[in-house]
């Protein structure tokens, strides 16, 4: 047993040099600079993640970004440009919130808000009136396309101006491979990369309503002359008590496959998870759970290694 522990620690020490050679983050402090115990712990933890077998993900594109270390823990085709479906709605929400429009203003659903591209259905019939805040919540939580369309239609200057602002904000955030053509994500020309989407999720974290709405389990809309409508979150993980999720957004069109972006804290480590082009209704959720299990395993190993070193 003692022999195994010694061998493990030797491997971890050797991995630090390998890790330094493969990343932009120096493991060995510069001359005259003494690493703090916290920095040393982080270096060893990074090495453990490097040594732990990567999760076998089914998504064609994936990225796990470590917000504390400001570097990826795992990448798979992260630079590939692909349709992002309703992940688009995060940007729609940000530009609406940036405009500081009144959230209590009533907006009636119009026939113009219907999906004339793919013919998707909606329970939000023309004539139903909701507040802008409710539309924002339904667009983010339930991925309601008519809600997102209505938000863009009532944006100053209309839908065209909203889409232009979405592209402008993407440029401001450094999302060089991202293009938006509509506010819902139904247009398959709405494309991005996993790398760009990390930037978008990082920006979205600065909007408290986006955190609150994307992680809500459900919402019931009350109408004066119609029966109440209950909408559920499209990401079942927000109802799982073992997950600590700060931002969540799903997406799906046939061209994009199943998509999911999340900001979550796993084993006290804040990360951004991007999963694109997953096939099968539960594949993206399965991948997210595999990521969680991998991170928990690596973190537990890192704690043991740090304790032995101390």
In this structure, is residue 249 part of a structural domain?
yes
Distance of alpha carbon 262 from the chain centroid: 3
Nearest partner of 115 among 107, 123, 105, judged by Cα: 123
Total domains present in the chain: 1
The C-alpha atoms of residue 181 and residue 221 are separated, in whole angstroms, by 29
In this structure, is residue 67 part of a structural domain?
no
Look up residue 50 and give its two tokens.
């490097």
The C-alpha atoms of residue 301 and residue 214 are separated, in whole angstroms, by 32
pLDDT number for residue 37: 62
Q: What is the pTM of this model?
A: 0.85
Look up residue 306 and give its two tokens.
């740090």
The C-alpha atoms of residue 42 and residue 13 are separated, in whole angstroms, by 13
Q: What CATH number is attached to the domain comprising 195?
A: 3.40.710.10
In this structure, is residue 124 part of a structural domain?
yes
- In sequence order, what E strands does the chain have? 61-66, 71-76, 82-83, 106-108, 129-131, 191-192, 218-221, 229-232, 245-253, 257-266, 269-278
Cα distances from 145 to residues 113, 122, 152, 257, 273, in angstroms, run 8, 8, 11, 17, 23
pLDDT number for residue 39: 66
Cα distances from 126 to residues 53, 123, 160, 264, in angstroms, run 52, 9, 21, 36
Look up residue 34 and give its two tokens.
């003494």
Q: What share of the chain is helix, strand, coil (3-state, %, to 5)?
A: 45, 20, 35
In this structure, is residue 186 part of a structural domain?
yes
Mean pLDDT for each consecutive 10-residue tract of the chain (310 residues)? 43 41 36 59 67 87 95 96 99 99 97 90 92 98 98 99 99 99 98 99 98 98 85 98 98 98 96 96 96 91 71
CB 132, CB 138: distance < 8 Å: no
The C-alpha atoms of residue 125 and residue 181 are separated, in whole angstroms, by 24
pLDDT number for residue 40: 61
Residue 250 belongs to domain spanning: 82-299
- β-strand partners of 218: 232
CB 152, CB 139: distance < 8 Å: no
Look up residue 227 and give its two tokens.
């029966």
Residue tagged 């991170």 (tokens): 295
Distance of alpha carbon 217 from the chain centroid: 17
In this structure, is residue 310 part of a structural domain?
no
Residues for the chain: how many in total? 310
User: Catalytic residue numbers?
Assistant: 86, 89, 143
In this structure, is residue 37 part of a structural domain?
no
pLDDT number for residue 202: 98
Give the N- to C-terminal CA distance of the chain in Å, as an integer.
19
In this structure, is residue 54 part of a structural domain?
no
Residue tagged 């971890």 (tokens): 12
CB 28, CB 20: distance < 8 Å: yes
The C-alpha atoms of residue 147 and residue 126 are separated, in whole angstroms, by 11
In this structure, is residue 260 part of a structural domain?
yes
The C-alpha atoms of residue 298 and residue 224 are separated, in whole angstroms, by 53
Nearest partner of 286 among 3, 77, 62, 27, judged by Cα: 62
Look up residue 24 and give its two tokens.
């932009």
pLDDT number for residue 284: 97
The C-alpha atoms of residue 217 and residue 12 are separated, in whole angstroms, by 41
pLDDT number for residue 147: 98
């Amino acid at each position: 047993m003692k022999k195994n522990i010694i061998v493990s620690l030797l491997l971890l020490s050797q991995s630090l040099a390998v890790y330094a050679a493969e990343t932009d983050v120096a493991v060995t402090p510069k001359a005259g600079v003494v690493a703090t115990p916290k920095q040393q712990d982080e270096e060893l933890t990074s090495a453990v993640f490097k040594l732990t077998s990567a999760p076998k993900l089914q998504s064609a594109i994936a990225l796990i970004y470590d917000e504390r270390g400001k570097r990826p823990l795992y990448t798979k085709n992260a630079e590939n440009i692909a349709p992002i479906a309703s992940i688009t709605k995060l940007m729609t929400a940000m530009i609406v919130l940036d405009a500081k429009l009144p959230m209590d203003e009533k907006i009636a659903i119009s026939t113009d808000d219907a999906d004339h591209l793919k013919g998707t259905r909606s329970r939000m019939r023309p004539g139903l009136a909701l507040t802008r805040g409710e539309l924002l919540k339904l667009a983010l939580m339930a991925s309601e396309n008519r809600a997102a369309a209505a938000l863009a239609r009532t944006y100053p200057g209309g839908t065209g101006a909203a889409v232009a602002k979405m592209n402008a904000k993407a440029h401001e955030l450094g999302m060089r491979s991202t293009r938006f053509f509509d506010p819902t994500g139904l247009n398959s020309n709405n494309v991005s990369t996993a790398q760009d989407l990390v930037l978008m999720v990082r920006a979205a974290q600065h909007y408290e309503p986006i955190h609150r709405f994307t992680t809500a389990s459900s919402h019931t809309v009350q109408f004066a002359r119609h029966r109440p409508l209950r909408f559920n979150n499209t990401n079942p993980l927000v109802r799982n008590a073992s997950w600590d999720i700060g931002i969540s957004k799903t997406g799906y069109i046939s061209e994009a496959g199943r998509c999911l972006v999340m900001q979550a804290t796993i084993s006290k480590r804040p990360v951004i998870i991007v999963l694109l082009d997953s096939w099968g209704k539960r594949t993206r959720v399965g991948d997210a759970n595999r990521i969680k299990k991998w991170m928990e395993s690596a973190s537990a190993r890192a704690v043991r290694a740090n304790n032995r070193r101390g």
